[in-house]
């Protein structure tokens, strides 16, 4: 009798552990307890430089933030725990002096544009007009879809994440997901922020 009772109890305990494992496996990842601004402050205190990108991701049902930061000498790719603020991973590489190379590219492009003849310029203008028309039609189709977050609310969310003046505002679709793309200027600083049009979640902050 005792042997049978022991077998029954063992089966019940095993079933309980199995159910708990299934629950944890199927559970959806929780939202991070740390906001983007809090993560930005944590990173700035530990790594001097300019944050060029800050994005929320999920790895193995764990909320993390991926951060890119650069200074004159080095660049860092960080992974930060969305709940504890712990630095989970860091990759270090030499700085590419992107600002200098970007200026050189712009100067080269300007010289090439000046050397183009009037026919090439007309063709470029026609192509640009065609692209603008296509983009406008796409925007009309996107604007017909319903969003839970209004444009005004999206701007407020973006300004809470980065103070300044909204210089550009756009509603776009990415893999069936409607997002607000908002550009904000604050003096010499700029940021491009993506806000989910349904949840109001700040998806990406790209600093310039």
Average pLDDT of the residues of the chain: 75
Least confident of 25-39, 78-92, 102-116, 171-185: 102-116
Is the domain spanning 147-208 CATH 3.10.450.40? The answer is yes
| Residues 42-62: tens digit of each pLDDT | 888 888 888 989 888 888 888
Longest dimension (CA), the chain: 99
Q: Pull the structure tokens for residue 131.
A: 């692209």
Per-residue model confidence (pLDDT) at position 8: 47
CA-nearest of 161, 153, 152, 201 to 184 is 161
Q: Pull the structure tokens for residue 193.
A: 């922020």
Per-residue model confidence (pLDDT) at position 131: 55
| Residues 123-150: tens digit of each pLDDT | 666 666 655 555 555 554 544 456 788 9
Chain-centre distance for alpha carbon 151? 18
Chain-centre distance for alpha carbon 65? 9
Q: Please report the DSSP string for 137-201 in residue order.
A: HHHHHHHTS--SS-HHHHHHHHHHHS-SEEEEEEEEEETTEEEEEEEEEETTEEEEEEEETTT--
Strand 177-186: give its sheet, edge to edge.
87-94, 74-81, 62-70, 50-59, 202-207, 189-196, 177-186, 165-174
Cα distance between residue 125 and residue 175, in whole Å: 30
Per-residue model confidence (pLDDT) at position 169: 94
Find out whether 149 and 142 touch, Cβ atoms under 8 Å. Answer: no
Per-residue model confidence (pLDDT) at position 78: 86
Per-residue model confidence (pLDDT) at position 58: 86
Per-residue model confidence (pLDDT) at position 144: 46
Residue 26 φ then ψ, to 5° = -90, -10
Find out whether 81 and 88 touch, Cβ atoms under 8 Å. Answer: yes
| Architecture (CATH level 2) of domain 29-97 | Roll (3.10)
């Amino acid at each position: 009798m005792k042997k049978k009772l022991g077998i029954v109890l063992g089966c019940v305990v095993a079933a309980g552990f199995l159910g708990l494992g299934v629950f944890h496996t199927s559970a959806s990842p929780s939202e991070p307890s740390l906001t983007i601004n809090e993560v930005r402050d944590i990173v700035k205190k530990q790594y001097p430089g300019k944050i060029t990108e800050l994005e929320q991701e999920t790895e193995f049902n764990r909320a993390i933030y991926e951060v890119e930061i650069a200074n004159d000498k080095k660049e860092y790719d960080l992974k930060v725990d969305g709940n504890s603020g712990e630095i989970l991973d860091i990759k270090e590489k030499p700085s590419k002096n992107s600002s200098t190379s970007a200026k050189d590219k712009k100067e080269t492009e300007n010289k090439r544009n000046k050397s183009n003849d009037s026919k090439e310029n007309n063709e470029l203008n026609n192509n640009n007009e065609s692209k603008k028309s296509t983009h406008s039609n796409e925007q009309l189709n996107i604007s017909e879809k319903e969003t839970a977050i209004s444009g005004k609310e999206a701007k407020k969310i973006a300004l809470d994440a980065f103070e300044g003046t909204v210089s550009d505002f756009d509603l776009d679709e990415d893999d069936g997901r409607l997002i607000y793309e908002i550009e904000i200027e604050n003096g010499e600083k700029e940021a491009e922020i993506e806000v989910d049009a349904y949840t109001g979640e700040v998806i990406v902050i790209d600093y310039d």
